[in-house]
Structure 1
Amino acid sequence: MSRSNRFLLLTVIFLLCQKVSTASQKAPVANFSVSLLTCEKTDRYIYALFGHSAIRIKSNNNQSDLVYNYGTFDTGDPKFYVNFLHGQMRYFLSVTEYQTFIQSYIVDEQSVTEQVLQLNESQKNKLLSLLQEQIKPQNRSYNYDFVKQNCSTKIIDLLSESLGPDFDQALLKLNAGKGPPVRDLLNVYLRRQEFEMIGMNSLLGRRSDTITNKSVSLFLPDTLQKTMDKIQLGTIKLSAPIVYLFKSQHQTASGLPVFYLLSYGLNLFFVLGISAGLSAHPQRYSVPKKLISFLDGFFILALSTLGLLLVYLSCNSALDLLWYNFNILWCHPFYLVLFFRKTRRIASIIFLSGILIFTFLYIHASFFSVLLPVLLLLSLWLSIRIFQAKG
């Protein structure tokens, strides 16, 4: 898949941390255990970059073994992409046979761990009763929000309602104090996926930079796993030790080094630089000039289209993480003005100023070094246009 297609795909399945499962209404028998399943992150799929969480209900006599999954979505929905752009994706709770669930992760070489929750009979029965009520067709759907309502946060809500104030107090105590911004939390997972880091940080708005409390990080499955391992309800540890149900030998790819991104940017700049030279001597290079002009125009259209998407998401999406997106300072639809010779120079100066302002705001951000080649390319490209128009 080309890098441009991967960027477009990222805008469609942005921040998804779940796997589709097969729904079933089979109920487990009495005398059962409850456990938290954590599917570790993998770079094989964009939607799996952040992992996944689910609840396992297993009868002790092996008559039933089910996995309840809050991360189910219907990609066949004709309005799926429209709902995504508006932040109104509908997700639902489903239940799957454990063997079906684990086999899909074995095939994908994605590690899965289990933590048996040490609940008493009353707590387990209440949790199961809630799941059976939520799995009903009229109750199982909810509006997905990557930070506020996802496969992990729904499990926290389930445990809170099942275990009561003791769980809430233990969770609050464990997560006291400030935590890192959401953008920084996400970038930890994207250190080896530079291209995905550029795409995701282009979509995120100002609210993702706000310093939060530690509990916000519970939307990440492995953070939920670590938290469950630390919680004490009185003298009882909530979770039994973490065990692997399947451990993958797959190694995360190293990603595309920034050095190569910079090289690609400078190569494109070299082509655009030739374009400036050809414009100065069109009589010598009439055929190549048409090709370079085509590439130049394509670059303007691509930037303007992506900028229009950012403006649309920033103004119309229900996901507040996408609001007030300062990336619009360098990626916006106004590049179309560069097609007009009379406004080209002043527009280039204004656009270059926007890039400098963005650089000033984010130069110390964790993702800036990855975005730098893109900003450098744009700055050089606009500088050429300024001097070209002056001449």
Structure 2
Amino acid sequence: MKTKTLNKIVMLRKIILSLLISTAAILNANAQFAMLSPEAKVSLVTVGPGRELYSGFGHSVIWIYDPVNRLDNAYSYGSFSFETGNFYIKFLRGTLPYTISVAPLAPQAAYWQAENRSISEQVLDLSAIQKQKLYNYLETNYLPQNREYQYKFFYDNCATRLTLALKAACGDSLIYNGYTDEKLSFRQWIDRYAYKQNPWADFGMDLAIGAPSDEIATADQATFLPDNLSKAFADAKVKTASGIKPLVMAKNDLFLATPVQYEETFTPMHVFWALAVLVMAFTYWQIQKQKVNFTFDKILFSIAGITGWLIVLLWFGTNHGVTSWNYDLLWAFPLWMPLILSISAKKKPAWFQFLLIFYGFLLLCATGNLLKHNYVVIPILLILIIRVYYINNSLSKIPQKG
């Protein structure tokens, strides 16, 4: 009997000790978050696009400034470390962890200004309670166990995370409709920004992303772009005891970038159309002179095949969420590499004619996807169609190899 009583006492002590430890942990967690003063200011800071691809879509941060508590925190959800193990593999696969970072605004603004990127501030008209909730939310996210997240360019990035933070702080009092000015697909939004910065990078991104990118972004999803998020905040409102008021009470231009004129020499469109004309002329010369030589075709279709294998890798080997169902595989047919290497000017495999017919059907299907795609694909398809015609025409004069 005494043993049972002793065991109960020991168990009770363990429970009490566990509760004390848990309570202490909660108190310590709350204690590290400062109580904002009435002078605290909360702002959405939007940074314009930069010249580099990673900065070409702009950036967003939430800035909390409290002169009484000497608090100057700019919260950014767009940080990652080059020191991460297997960095490039994780980056390509879409599994690179991103984190929220916190730093004073001035040093960051100086860096953006040096890159000639516009910086604007929207001061949010939040109540003291809402400011505190937002601050606590961001600080909780910044705790070591919370700060990492799985970055998704379209669905979960530096801009979309700030919408979640605002909604968590304001709750049902927030009237937020997202970006409602235009309805574009994710691909069209990318083209609007990426082409201006780097037409070749835009072409590469168009090749990499698949059918999910052609979906029309909802008003909420469109705020994955910082400029759209800024507009959504400007249109948002907050319910108060005295009525409904705009979320943004003031806007300040912290820095205006000097306009840059981007040159369009040697864009993909120029290069591939020039190549299409040259291929047309070269093919006409080969047919007129009855020249049967497949060296160019082996190079061309090997490149198309390798491109196809890269698309397959992005589709099945990555976690980006937007590289699946990529219909560029219709023209970048992976099996061209190595099948194209089997033809020669002396003999042809018996099955190669069927391959050409099948590929011709794929090219026909590929033309149906042009309206949603980068129009650079038009001269690419033209080049491939011309060379398929040449190969078929030339093979008809060569003895078959079983």
| Class of the TM-score when normalised by the shorter of the 2 chains | 0.7 to 0.9
Quick one: which amino acid aligns to residue 245 of structure 1? Answer: L
Query: Following superposition of structure 1 onto structure 2, how do residues 152-301 of structure 1 map, counting pairs within 5 Å?
Result: 152-167=159-174, 170-172=175-177, 179-192=183-196, 193-234=198-239, 235-256=244-265, 260-266=270-276, 269=279, 273=283, 276=286, 281=291, 293=295, 296-301=297-302
Q: What is the aligned partner in structure 1 of residue 43 from structure 2? A: 35
- Do residues 372 (structure 1) and 378 (structure 2) align? yes
Deviations 1:321-361 (A, max 9, x none): 2111111111132112111122544323322321221112x
Which shows bigger deviation, 306-315 or 204-213?
Answer: 204-213
- Do residues 328 (structure 1) and 329 (structure 2) align? yes
How far off its partner does 1:315 sit? 2.3
Q: What is the aligned partner in structure 2 of residue 138 from structure 1? A: 145
Q: What is the aligned partner in structure 2 of residue 55 from structure 1? A: 62
Identity %: 24
Give unmatched runs, 5+ long, in structure 2.
1-31, 344-348, 398-402
| Aligned CA distance change for structure 1 residues 271 and 66 (closer, same or farther; 3 Å) | farther
SS in 1 for 2:176: helix
SS in 1 for 2:322: helix
SS in 2 for 1:218: helix
Q: TM-score, normalised by structure 1?
A: 0.80
CA distance in 2, matches of 1:103, 1:332: 48
How far off its partner does 1:92 sit? 0.2
Q: What is the aligned partner in structure 2 of residue 122 from structure 1? A: 129
SS in 2 for 1:369: coil
Quick one: which amino acid aligns to residue 246 of structure 1? Answer: F
Give unmatched runs, 5+ long, in structure 1.
1-24, 283-288
Query: Does the 8 Å CA contact 2:100/2:148 hold for their aligned counterparts?
Result: yes
Q: What is the aligned partner in structure 2 of residue 340 from structure 1? A: 342
Count residues with an aligned counterpart: 352
1:356 equivalent among 352, 364, 369? 364
Query: Does the 8 Å CA contact 2:73/2:104 hold for their aligned counterparts?
Result: yes
| Aligned CA distance change for structure 1 residues 91 and 211 (closer, same or farther; 3 Å) | same
Q: TM-score, normalised by structure 2?
A: 0.78
Larger CA Rg, structure 1 vs 2: 2
Q: What is the aligned partner in structure 1 of residue 389 from structure 2? A: 383
- Do residues 102 (structure 1) and 109 (structure 2) align? yes
How far off its partner does 1:262 sit? 4.0
CA distance in 2, matches of 1:334, 1:279: 30
